């Protein structure tokens, strides 16, 4: 009896995992009544815009019902993993760079290159497209691109009478001394810098400026421990010297999200951000914010385009052709772009971006212009399969370094071996 039960269970789980999609992604669209499930994460503003885009598409495709399923970030990934495990995944999936390879290399995502006539990718910037490709297969179509930057509060700079050096040539030491002057001038009221080390962008840039990279092309961890140690040493120094807030404040703000950051609450004059976050930050802060290039770019290029997120299609979708046509609409339709604007990043579709730039105003415009002005290198390798929790590992070691529970060197070595172990196990 028990054996039968266990056998049945195993069969059930296998049934959940097996199965394949129906039809070809480049086939003709059906005229039958079907339903597509489309899932994304975000806040209510995004939910509303996305629903408008869905409504727009439904006008032209009355037989295809698109069901939007919105979630918040954490719940999104729990829910997605569960539905994929049960072979019940939504057809169109908003995907993140961290998870792309973990899903794609395990066969959960469709190669969008097979969608042929249903999905055009010709208008996309090649560097941006490369961020969604693994082994020559296009698993994700970037919705937008963004680049790592500094955001400075010019009101605070003016208040404390601090002028910035030219951000095209400045160095990490320059940043430190600027931050120091602000901290001192304010008498402790604000800090010059806001600590970072909680997102992987900073590490990527640091590695690239030092002639290394986080991952080798084959997906192994490639950053040398001493380079990574220097990164953490820098963060530890600015924290201890009062240039950035003390460890507990930094950790607290990093965990609290954008609205409660030092930049948003005007408690830190300069912070690292993705350039596309300028508008949200400006809204929260209520003061004048300005995008700056990261230090050190004058001598070696570390900057790159990061895809804000991707459109992906489940490999087990029963309607891959229709799903591809819908993604095509999301990615290439000017009407859709006019509704979404920069909500999912500054569009990676160059035609759309060109048409959109003229319509943008204020901080959106500044962010788009900044993106164009930054000199970027090749995109770093996609986060490998098994490394989707890299930011959690990074964050933990940053905390340990800031609280001096680990030396930067220890943290670097532990980070590398943990990350590699995850990749090896996948």
Partner 1 sequence: MSAIGELQRLNTSTGGPPRKRDTKAALLFLLPWFAGILLITAGPVAASFVLGFTDYNLIQPPEFNGLENIQRMLTDERLHHSLGVTFTYVFVSVPLQLAAALGLAMLLDRGMRGLPFYRSAFYLPSLLGSSVAIAVLWRQIFGAEGLINQMLGFFGIEGTGWISDPDTALSTLIVLNVWTFGAPMVIFLAGLRQIPVMYYEAAQIDGAGRWTQFRRITVPLLSPIIFFNLVLQIIHAFQSFTQAFVVSGGTGGPSDSTMFYTLYLYQRGFHSFDMGYASALAWLLLLIIAAFTAVNFWAAKRWVFYDD
Partner 2 sequence: MTDLRERTHELPAPVPEKAVKLPGAGRSIAKHTGLILLTLVMLYPVIWMVVSSLRPNEEIFRSPGVLPDSFRFENYSEGWTALASPFGHYLINSAIVVLGCILGNLVSCSMAAYAFARLEFTGKKLWFAIMLGTIMLPIHVIIVPQYVMFSQFGWINTFLPLIVPKLLATDAFFVFLMVQFIRGLPRELDEAARIDGAGHPRIFLQVILPLMLPALATTTIFTFIWTWNDFFSQLIYLTDPEMYTVPVALRSYVDATVSTSWGSMFAMSVVSLLPIFLAFLVGQRFLIKGIATTGIK
Which residues of the shown chain bind partner 1 in the complex (CB under 8 A)? Answer: 5-6, 9-10, 12-14, 17-18, 72, 74, 77-78, 81-82, 84-85, 102-103, 106-108, 245-249, 251-252, 255-256, 260, 386, 388-389, 392, 395-396, 399-400, 403, 405, 422, 425-426
Is residue 13 a contact point for partner 2 (CB under 8 A)? Answer: yes
- CA–CA gap between residue 248 and residue 180 (Å, rounded): 19
Among partner 2, partner 1, none, the one that 372 touches (CB under a kind-dependent 5 to 8 A) is none
Please select the residue that binds partner 2; options are 177, 186, 260, 420, rule is CB under 8 A.
260
Q: 132 with 310: CB under 8 angstroms?
A: yes
Instruction: CB nearer to partner 1: give 320 or 386.
Output: 386
Helical H segments across 18-142, by residue range? 44-60, 73-85, 97-104, 126-130
Beta carbon of residue 270, minimum distance to partner 1 (angstroms, whole number): 20
**Span interacting with partner 2, options 12-20, 222-230, 317-325, 361-369, rule CB under 8 A:** 12-20
Instruction: CB nearer to partner 1: give 72 or 135.
Output: 72
- CA–CA gap between residue 196 and residue 244 (Å, rounded): 9
Beta carbon of residue 249, minimum distance to partner 1 (angstroms, whole number): 4
Instruction: CB nearer to partner 2: give 83 or 213.
Output: 83
Instruction: CB nearer to partner 1: give 240 or 405.
Output: 405
Please select the residue that binds partner 2; options are 52, 67, 154, 165, rule is CB under 8 A.
67
Stated length of the chain? 426
Task: Determine whether 78 is exposed, middle or buried from the number of CB atoms within 10 Å of its CB (0-12, 13-18, 19+).
Answer: exposed
Please select the residue that binds partner 2; options are 25, 36, 37, 124, rule is CB under 8 A.
37
The sign of the dihedral angle between the CA atoms of 176, 269, 373, 167 is negative
The HSE-up count of residue 373 (CA atoms within 13 Å, CB side) is 14
Q: Residue 354: which residues within 8 A CB-CB, separation 6 or more?
A: none
Compute CA 396 distance to the chain's CA centroid, rounded to the nearest angstrom: 19
Residue with tokens 């070691």: 397
Q: Taking the chain, what is the end-to-end CA distance rounded to the nearest angstrom?
A: 34
Residues in touch with partner 2 (CB under 8 A): 9, 12-13, 15-16, 37, 39, 41-48, 51, 67-73, 75, 78-79, 81-83, 85-86, 88, 90, 257-260, 264-266, 277, 280-281, 283-284, 286, 343
């Amino acid at each position: 009896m028990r054996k039968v039960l266990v056998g049945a269970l195993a069969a059930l789980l296998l049934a959940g995992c097996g199965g394949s999609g129906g039809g070809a992604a480049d086939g003709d669209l059906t005229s039958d009544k079907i339903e597509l499930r489309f899932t994304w994460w975000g806040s209510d503003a995004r939910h509303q815009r996305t629903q408008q885009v869905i409504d727009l598409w439904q006008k032209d495709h009355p037989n295809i019902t698109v069901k939007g399923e919105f979630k918040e970030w954490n719940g999104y990934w729990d829910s997605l993993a569960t539905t994929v495990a049960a072979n019940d995944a939504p057809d169109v999936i908003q995907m993140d760079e961290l998870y792309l390879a973990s899903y794609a290399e395990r066969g959960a995502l469709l190669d969008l290159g097979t969608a042929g006539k249903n999905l055009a990718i010709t208008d996309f910037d090649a560097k941006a497209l490369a961020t969604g490709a693994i082994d020559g297969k296009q698993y994700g179509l970037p919705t937008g691109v963004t680049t790592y930057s500094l955001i400075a509060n010019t009101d605070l700079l003016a208040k404390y009478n601090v002028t910035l050096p030219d951000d095209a040539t400045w160095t990490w030491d320059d940043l430190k001394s600027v931050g120091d002057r602000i901290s001192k001038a304010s008498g402790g009221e604000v800090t010059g810098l806001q600590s970072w080390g909680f997102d992987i962008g900073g590490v990527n840039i640091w590695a690239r400026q030092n002639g290394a990279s986080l991952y080798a092309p084959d997906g192994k961890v490639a950053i040398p421990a001493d380079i990574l140690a220097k990164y953490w040493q820098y963060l530890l120094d600015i924290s201890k010297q009062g240039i950035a807030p003390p460890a507990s404040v930094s950790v607290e703000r990093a965990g609290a999200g954008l609205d409660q950051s030092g930049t948003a609450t005007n408690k830190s004059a300069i912070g690292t951000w993705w350039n596309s976050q300028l508008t949200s930050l400006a809204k929260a802060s209520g003061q004048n914010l300005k995008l700056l290039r990261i230090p050190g770019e004058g001598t070696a290029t570390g900057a790159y385009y990061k895809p804000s997120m991707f459109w992906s299609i489940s490999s087990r979708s029963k309607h891959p052709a229709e799903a591809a046509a819908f993604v095509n609409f999301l990615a290439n339709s000017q009407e859709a772009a006019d509704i979404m604007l920069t909500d999912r990043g500054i569009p990676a579709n160059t035609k759309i971006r060109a048409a959109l730039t003229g319509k943008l105003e204020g901080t959106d415009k500044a962010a788009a212009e900044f993106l164009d002005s930054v000199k970027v290198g090749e995109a770093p390798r996609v986060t490998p399969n098994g490394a989707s929790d890299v930011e959690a590992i990074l964050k933990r070691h940053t905390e340990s370094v800031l609280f001096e529970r680990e030396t930067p060197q220890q943290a670097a070595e532990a980070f590398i071996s943990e990350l590699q172990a995850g990749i090896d196990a996948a």
